[in-house]
Amino acid sequence: MRIKCRSISRGAAEGEVLLTHDAISFLGNVDPKTGIIEEPQHELYGKYIKDKVLVFPHGKGSTVGSYVLYQLIKNGVAPAAMINAESEPIVAVGAIISGIPLVDKMEHDPFDILKDGDTVKVDATEGFVETTD
């Protein structure tokens, strides 16, 4: 199934879905060296975001979070792509400077139709998300 969405950071990638209903503050929530969610209060605590299609509502916290996404890419532990309910500037800017495809405002609510482990393709240049089933 191909679902339309808005493109925020261009590029395309495929990966396994890792989904959370919690917003993410990349500064503080994510270890830039390992790509592990290190905030005990976070739904994804202890999970690796490396190579995943990370689905979360939106970013939050310090604007330094944008640079943390860049560090994740440099360290080879960044997500393959990201899907937001609605993107805000911290994650949008971070995704662009890091070259991580990012989309938001999917025509179908990603929290209804996607679950952990699904394989999806995010094409942020054309503006769609494709599920394999």
Contact 91, 82 (CB under 8 A): yes
Q: Is the CB of 12 or the CB of 113 nearer to other proteins? A: 12
Smallest separation, CB 25 to other proteins (Å): 14
Smallest separation, CB 133 to other proteins (Å): 30
Helical spans, DSSP H, in 1-56: 26-29
Q: Is the CB of 12 or the CB of 96 nearer to other proteins? A: 96
Catalytic residue among 7, 25, 62, 66: 62
Q: Is the CB of 63 or the CB of 119 nearer to other proteins? A: 63
Amino acid, single-letter form, for residue 103: V
Q: Which two tokens stand for residue 98?
A: 């890091």
Binding mask 65-94 for other proteins (x = CB under 8 A): -xxx-xx--x------------xxxx-xx-
Active site residue 98: no
34 in contact with other proteins (CB under 8 A)? no
Helical spans, DSSP H, in 2-123: 26-29, 65-74, 89-98, 110-113
Strand 12-19's sheet: what is its strand order?
2-4, 128-131, 119-123, 12-19, 52-56, 81-84, 102-104, 6-9
Residues that bind other proteins (CB under 8 A): 6, 8-10, 32, 63-64, 66-68, 70-71, 74, 87-90, 92-93, 96-97
